[in-house]
Amino acid sequence: MSPKEIIESYVDDVVLLLPARQRKDVGIELRELLFEELGNRAGENPVDEATVRALLKDFGAPGDVASRYRPAGITAIPAREGRVFAWLSIGGVLAQWALSLPIEVILPTHDDLATRLGVWAAGSGLHAFALPGALAFSAMVWAWWKHRSTGDDTVTLAFPGELPALRPIESSEVNRLAWFTALVTFAVSIPFYASIPYYIARLDEPARSTLTLDPDFVANRAPWLLVVWVAQLVLFIFVLFKGRWVAATRKIEMALNVAGAAMLAWFVLGGPMLVNPEIDGYAKLIASGITAMILAVTAIKFWREQARVGKAKPQIS
Amino acid sequence: MSDAAHDKIEQELRRGAVVLAALSQLREPQYGYSLRQALAAKGMPIEEGTLYPLLRRLEAQGLLASEWRIEEGPPRRYYRLSEEGERLFGVLTASWRDLNAVMDRLLQQ
């Protein structure tokens, strides 16, 4: 990985955490300043990866750097009231549990204790958490109203005391061990999924007739799923060897996602997927949900890609 | 008290001075790196990760004006004091001198 790539990836990570209107300008400036700092550090020596990483480590994790670029923000819950907020939240939740749990357990709504506890947990137990949410929401609305009355539009709403998370210098880098494990799992699962019709045919009734895939689906549409999976597998193996995502691999991933979503839409609209009409309806509902999710994730990735600094040029006045 | 705690207190002491130090050098246009070099040369080294975002924040507050310039090398964003920044610089300078005189008296006792 070249020093230029590392710096650009780092700058991308910083600017993605900034408001959209600031990204391009701050990104270009930060990139040039880091190159200049790097040149100063390296002096007469050739710039190597270790020097770049040392520079970026000193500069700070992207989240911390982005925080420094942002204005201070409004304090929704002042430090002096933090303890009161914590006591009201925790005490309020515990008080609600103390009232609702005995009632639910004692009342003979269900025979067994486990069911009563389950009903309580999903109902009153969960609803008790609305109190901290309501308190925080009220504090934010109050802080926003006070902010509006001052007429200062350079600040944004933020909670105080937010601790900077420990983040890697670059998020584009991949954890090779985790990726290797995931890829092996993925690669092994592809032949398994390809064999699903074979295994369904050997199930006992009524499972077999319930899960039997439509012959036309198996013959004409389903094989394309394997094509997309194999293409994704090849891409992920390439990223594993490269050690990080780059612009080209990100674009290919987005294209494969769109292809996968189009293929799923074709599965749904192109005729039955399963022989049993009722189960086919459920399968198509799930496939439609997955399609929408893939498209939403791809749209977010596309939007983030547009925000990357890349070869952006400044607006010279 | 640990060394880290000492460092934190010292950083807090310096934090207030950093804005005034930066403003003092921006009566003439400077870009981020040249400003950092100028401050370091005069005995006020400021970490790059602190100084560069600070310039943007001061600009957002209307204390600095900036523009991109291409002269030698890559494009650089030059900052200088705005009218409001010049006024604030005058106020902060007076405050600093008063505070400095008081602190000198206190520390001599």
Task: Express each pLDDT in A116-170 by its tens digit.
Answer: 788 788 888 899 899 888 888 888 888 788 777 765 444 444 444 333 333 445 5
Q: Residues near A252 by Cβ (< 8 Å), separated by ≥ 6?
A: A235
Residues of B in contact with A313 (CB under 8 A): 75
Residue A314: its pLDDT value, please? 66
Nearest CA in chain A to B56: A69
A63 touches chain B (CB under 8 A): no
Contact A59 B67 (CB under 8 A): no
Residue B94: its pLDDT value, please? 96
Alpha-carbon dihedral B24, B28, B29, B32, rounded to 10 degrees: -30
Residue A154: its pLDDT value, please? 43
Return d(Cα A190, Cα A192) in angstroms, integer. Answer: 5
Residue with tokens 């994704």: A232
Contact B69 A59 (CB under 8 A): no
Residue A317: its pLDDT value, please? 56
Return d(Cα A204, Cα A199) in angstroms, integer. Answer: 10
The mean pLDDT value for B73-100 works out to 93
Residue B104 has pLDDT above 90, yes or no: yes
The number of CA neighbours under 13 Å toward the Cβ of B20 is 13
Residue A61 has pLDDT above 80, yes or no: yes
Residue A182: its pLDDT value, please? 80
Residue A261 has pLDDT above 90, yes or no: yes
Residue A162: its pLDDT value, please? 37
Residue A186: its pLDDT value, please? 82
A37 touches chain B (CB under 8 A): yes
The mean pLDDT value for A87-105 works out to 86
Residue A306 has pLDDT above 90, yes or no: no
Q: Which residue has the higher pLDDT, A103 or A90?
A: A90
Q: Which helix (H) or strand (E) holds A229?
A: helix A222-242
Q: What pairing do the DSSP bridges indicate for beta strands B30-31 and B76-81? A: antiparallel
A29 touches chain B (CB under 8 A): yes
Contact A29 B32 (CB under 8 A): yes
Kindly tell me the sign of the dihedral angle through the C-alpha atoms of A281, A285, A290, A294. Answer: positive
Nearest CA in chain A to B53: A69
Q: Is the peptide bond between A206 and the residue preceding it cis, with omega within 30 degrees of 0?
A: yes
Query: How many residues belong to chain A?
Result: 317
A56 touches chain B (CB under 8 A): no
DSSP assigned state of B81: E
Where is mean pLDDT largest: A144-148, A167-171, A207-211, A294-298? Answer: A294-298
What do you get for the CA distance between the two ends of chain A, in Å? 35
For residue B103, count CB atoms less than 10 angstroms from its CB and return exposed for 0-12, middle for 13-18, buried for 19 or more: exposed
Asked whether A12 and A56 are in contact (CB, 8 A), the reply is no
Residue A245: its pLDDT value, please? 80
- 3-class secondary structure, A200: helix
Residue A218: its pLDDT value, please? 87
Q: What is the largest CA-CA distance in chain A?
A: 83
Q: Do the interacting molecules here have an ipTM over 0.95? A: no
User: E strands, chain A, where?
Assistant: 74-75, 157-158
A168 touches chain B (CB under 8 A): no
* Residue from B68, B69, B72, B80 to probe the interface with A (highest A Cβ count within 10 Å): B68
Q: Place B20 in a pLDDT band, splitting at 50, 70 and 90.
A: very high
Candidates A32, A60, A69; nearest CB to B56: A69
Chain B closest-CA separation from residue A49 CA (Å): 19
Residue B89: its pLDDT value, please? 95
